[in-house]
Structure 1
Amino acid sequence: MGLQEYFAQLGRGVDLVAECSGLSAPDLEKMGASAQDAAELIGLHTIYFGPTPYSGKQRSAVNSARRNGHTLSTLHHIESFTRRVKEQRAAWNLRVELCATPSEQVTAVARRRLREMRAPREYCERVLLRQHPNGLATLTVTGNGLDMADAFRTIDHKRPGASFIARMLGKADAATTRTRVTTMVVLQLEDYGTILRRERDDVMVRTTSGAVITGAQLVERACANEGLVTIISRALGPVDLYRFERFASVKQRTMLAAEHPTCAWPGCNTPAERGQFHHLTPWSHGGETNVVNLVTLCSYHNGINEDDPNAPPRRGRLTRQGGTVVWQPPHTSR
């Protein structure tokens, strides 16, 4: 056989496999094949021409392999990937795709498909310690994402081991940096109305019902208690940003009731369960909705408390000093 004929035969990989029909490995060995080649040919014949519940996929794979001129080497290469797939249907789907893929792209396509088939790794809380020959060790801890992020922020990356151990032993000076998570809601302005003008620090919006309201009122009506809310116009882009985490959570209410079982105003005994939750630094002046800035007040005292922090309290106001909520009498400086 000349080289030209040899190379021509290489492109007939699937046809060479088909010619093994009715033959066994010993038969092929008698024809001069090595034991390994004989076993591999019989194996390929079983896959591409043997009985299978996926005969339609089998025919498709054979036709594609013939059309692409896949060699025996390429067919073996394809099978090195398909045998990694346990489920038969999925294996046949991969085989069909790889047979329809040019030989030079088989590896890339196969690896991509195998990655896609791989089940997502399940993570759980755990700790591992690996000792290294040079006296160092690696401690791997898997835990709550926010807690791990907080811990990571406290580590000095120039001396990670020493700083981590110092913190674990309570010898570190740096305060832990907490990761703040804030909900962001985006409102498409055109879904609610059109922008008319800007007044002071807000925008005026004409709603689809014809009413003119501020952007803050629009946000309050659309999605109260959602953290941060941004109004975006499809034509103008971002219009304004609003904080809207105004109301105390159930957990905060429980903590506040523990601090003040009754209204915190001096002399008032209205139970906390019938009270309201007041911002010491008013929400309108940037006060946060957290326990330090909240206090339990009855509806009456919540109404008369002077909210403007820059004005003298006409009827008194509550403030927090040194961790304790105190009443500031009228006509006194803060």
Structure 2
Amino acid sequence: MNLESALRYLATAGMPLVDLVYERVNNRESRKNIGQDYGLPARRIGQIHRVARDLFEGEGEQLANRRHCAQIARDARMSIDTLITMNKTVNRVNDHAAREPLRRELFEYAVSKSFEEVEAHAKLRLQEINERHPRTAHDQRWLRISGNPDTNGMRFMLARLTDSDAMALANALDQTAREFQKGDPKLSRQQAMADALVARVLGGTGASKSKVFREPVLLVPSDGCTYMGNGLLATSDGAIVPAREHMDSLLSEFGYATMWAPDLEGKMQHVDLWRTRRTANDKQRMMMVIDQLICADPECTHTAITSEAHHIEAWKNGGHTNVDNMVIACRPHHARNDDDRELQRYGHLTRDPVTGQACRQLVDEHRSRRYHQFPLAQYNGRNWVLNHELHTNNLYKPEEPPPD
């Protein structure tokens, strides 16, 4: 097949692509891995999978209509971009009862039409339908903050507000921004408004003064000590001392501090107290945040500080609320987990049995666990203490995760 033939086939292979992605995602493959196989970003794989779910899943008359639309697309050999555009349009209809009739209308219209014709018709029909069923401006508000910093260590924020709220916010920030510019004439208007927003919301006098989620943490190695459980350490001379007393003897005022020590089996453990409550307390959450920095799922980059404490052995199954039975996970990955192992749907979040690193065990127990490769994860407290033990006590030798 030459290049021209390949492009012509791609222009008509929308449904084969939808079938392929749907099958691979249902086999528990991540969008990232699928995208890497075909040189596509995970976002694009997600768009195709959304088309698949909206054509292959549903109930009753809804499912019958979707199957009819899928058959139209197959027979007409529609492109993937045409399918994505129509699917996005349907999902933006405010009146849910009007979505399936519009889906059928668009698919029937798209037969023998160009992408541009379908796109223009879809926009027109969406506008007409939503004018009859408008959403209130209040319902359309949102605020988005990027999940990861850019190469300059900056994050992006974008908001959608009603005209009155946006103007009120701008007016509230204006005076503070003017004061900042008087104090520093080099500040641009945009920079001054950004500093004013931080100052008004977080306190202080500008962005550089913000301390939210940025408190110092001192990681303390427990050289010569063995963790005995229940917050007790055995020193090299045989004495048993409470970990708090040992920590107090090493620390002054440095903010948060946490300690790891090898247990009797040589496995690195957080030094912590057992507890009977289900939810993690603030101390435990902070220890896990330091341990991971980001969500335990290897495909996720959600920050740990805004995520949730997740029980490895579910609380309902008798799992205790102690750090060695918990990891930090974002809300979607906290829910997307096989608490009951026999379900075998998603796999489950766990810890490496040797290093204690947070990871995901795949559904197939014979396949390797997946570990985070995101750069920020490499700077977490767990990696720091493991490297410390390797170089000072030669406690263990870290190994690369085995290939699947």
Greater fraction of residues in strand = 1
- The bucket for the TM-score relative to the shorter chain is 0.3 to 0.5
Higher relative contact order (CA 8 A, sep 6+): 2
Greater fraction of residues in helix = 2
Q: Which structure has the larger Rg?
A: 1
